[in-house]
């Protein structure tokens, strides 16, 4: 995933994860399953291959290590017997020091203390290295690298603490996704005040509650709806069994049709093409067969009509904790009645902060505006009372000079005074 593999410093990494291991111990069991699990979470992963070492050429592997945001080093029984593995471990730790890359050790059926203190199979391996043709200085660097890797055990994993490989892999994948997302700061999304928007969305989503919730981001084009949705998705995706960010829904409906969207959604979830054979019912049934009772995160960006969700999903029955996020430019009158913690509607907030474009958009919805303008917040204030209060300083500063500022304030008050019946003043 491109966003998760980007650091807060702005560097764009080619891979999210580099997996280092010794093939004879773990390739066909643990590592193979770990690789597939990471890829299923859309984490672009580089897996070491024996073919890359032909001719003693480390260049491809060196580039992969350097281009990876996080390295998972699987330390198993025969790891230290491979000079290739030891050389690469030294390089991985150098990248950690120089480029702040993340290194996560996995102690697979070995005791971390054996790695740290060169005991057991690690002692046997170095007894051979000490008498080999390898330079003493290089052998010493291998020992130091193993010692340092073992001391990263607090951020690593010990297979002996888990019932089976499946449980261990699930934990590693979830933690890896969380680490990759954590290093992508909200600044990378290009919006000032992103933390505020994220916190508002978290409040709506109620992530700790075991129900199924929908949350919407509504507003005119260009205000950052998609950016906010992407930021929320990136931050919380690791908490779900299945995730999908479906962008440009309106255009997809218009240009490719409903069944194409269903097929694309299935592809994103199952990681393989599953044709719905042109049937909407078959497509929605397949989606629910894949997602039913699972904890899912779905984002539908740029909806033209809320009914499009029903068209895509059919009668959905997701597992507890599932969250569906929608973004749309369409005006839905019922949204006007949604209130914040101070019992203010969107039109109250627009007046209070002098956002004319938002006020005009909401006010143009229809006859419902006649009711909204009289609505009061928890202090008994309607929109005229809001206009009577001085605008926030940042809004006043949009106009230079006290006289012009007051003139602008008077215009707001006079316009709103005409909208609210006298009995409500």
Name which residue leads in pLDDT, 24 or 138.
138
Highest averaged pLDDT of the listed ranges 140-144, 257-261, 359-363, 395-399: 140-144
| Residue 4: pLDDT over 50 | no
* Long-range pairs, 24-33, Cβ under 8 A, ≥24: 24/78, 25/74, 25/76, 25/77, 25/78, 25/79, 25/108, 26/74, 26/76, 26/108, 29/165, 30/74, 30/108, 30/159, 30/165, 30/168, 30/169, 31/74, 33/165, 33/166, 33/169
What is the per-residue pLDDT across 148-202, written as a single tens digit (0 to 9) for each? Answer: 999 997 889 999 999 999 999 999 998 998 888 766 544 444 455 677 788 888 8
Residue 88 catalytic? yes
Catalytic residue among 24, 39, 50, 88: 88
Residue 8's pLDDT is what? 36
Residue 188's pLDDT is what? 46
Name which residue leads in pLDDT, 338 or 136.
136
Name which residue leads in pLDDT, 264 or 90.
90
CB 419 within 8 A of CB 383: yes
% of the chain with per-residue pLDDT over 70? 74
Tokens of 160: 């002996």
| Residue 53: pLDDT over 70 | no
What is the per-residue pLDDT across 200-236, written as a single tens digit (0 to 9) for each? Answer: 888 888 888 888 888 888 776 667 788 889 888 877 8
Name which residue leads in pLDDT, 212 or 280.
212
Q: Which pTM does this prediction carry? A: 0.56
**Domains identified in the chain and CATH numbers:** 15-180 (3.40.50.10140), 187-330 (3.40.50.300), 334-424 (1.25.40)
What is the per-residue pLDDT across 281-314, written as a single tens digit (0 to 9) for each? Answer: 555 566 666 666 778 899 999 887 777 777 777 6
- Give the Cα separation of 407 and 354 in Å (integer): 13
| Residue 2: pLDDT over 70 | no
Q: Please state which of the ranges 238-242, 288-292, 332-336 shows the lowest mean pLDDT.
A: 332-336
Residues 6+ apart with CB under 8 A from 29: 165
| Residue 399: pLDDT over 70 | no
| Residue 356: pLDDT over 80 | no
Mean pLDDT, all residues of the chain: 79
Highest averaged pLDDT of the listed ranges 89-93, 225-229, 236-240: 89-93
């Amino acid at each position: 995933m491109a966003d998760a593999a980007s650091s807060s410093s702005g560097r764009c990494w080619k891979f999210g994860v580099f997996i280092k291991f010794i093939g004879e111990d773990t390739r066909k069991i643990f590592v193979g399953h770990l690789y597939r699990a990471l890829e299923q979470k859309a984490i672009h992963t580089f897996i070491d291959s024996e073919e890359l070492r032909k001719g003693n050429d480390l260049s491809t592997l060196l580039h992969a290590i350097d281009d990876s945001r996080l390295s998972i080093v699987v330390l198993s029984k025969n790891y230290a017997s491979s000079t290739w593995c030891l050389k690469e471990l030294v390089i991985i730790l150098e990248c950690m020091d120089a480029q702040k890359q993340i290194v996560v050790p996995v102690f697979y059926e070995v005791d971390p203390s054996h790695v740290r203190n060169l005991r057991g199979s690690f002692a046997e391996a170095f007894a051979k290295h000490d008498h080999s043709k390898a330079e003493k200085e290089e052998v010493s660097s291998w020992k130091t690298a193993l010692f340092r890797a073992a001391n990263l055990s607090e951020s690593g994993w010990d297979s002996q603490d888990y019932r089976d490989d499946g449980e261990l892999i699930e934990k590693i994948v979830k933690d890896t996704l969380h680490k990759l997302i954590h290093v992508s700061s909200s600044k990378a999304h290009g919006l000032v005040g992103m933390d505020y928007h994220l916190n508002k969305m978290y409040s709506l989503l109620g992530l700790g509650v075991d129900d199924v919730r929908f949350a919407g981001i509504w507003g005119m084009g260009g205000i950052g709806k998609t950016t906010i949705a992407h930021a929320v998705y990136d931050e919380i995706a690791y908490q779900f069994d299945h995730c999908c960010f479906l962008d440009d829904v309106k255009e997809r409906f218009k240009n490719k049709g409903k069944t194409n969207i269903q097929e694309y959604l299935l592809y994103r979830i199952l990681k393989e093409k599953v044709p719905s054979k042109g049937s909407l019912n078959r497509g929605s049934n397949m989606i629910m067969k894949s997602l039913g009772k699972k904890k899912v995160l779905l984002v539908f960006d740029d909806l033209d009509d809320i009914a499009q969700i029903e068209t895509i999903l059919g009668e959905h029955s997701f597992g507890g904790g599932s969250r569906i996020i929608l973004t749309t430019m369409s005006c839905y009158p019922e949204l006007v009645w949604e209130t914040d913690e101070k019992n203010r509607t969107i039109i109250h907030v627009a007046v209070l902060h002098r956002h004319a474009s938002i006020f005009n958009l909401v006010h143009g919805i229809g006859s419902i505006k006649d009711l909204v303008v009289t609505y009061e917040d928890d202090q008994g204030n309607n929109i005229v009372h809001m206009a009577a209060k001085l605008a926030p300083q940042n809004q006043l500063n949009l106009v230079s000079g006290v006289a012009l500022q007051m003139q602008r304030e008077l215009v707001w008050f006079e316009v709103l005074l005409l909208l609210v019946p006298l009995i409500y003043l």
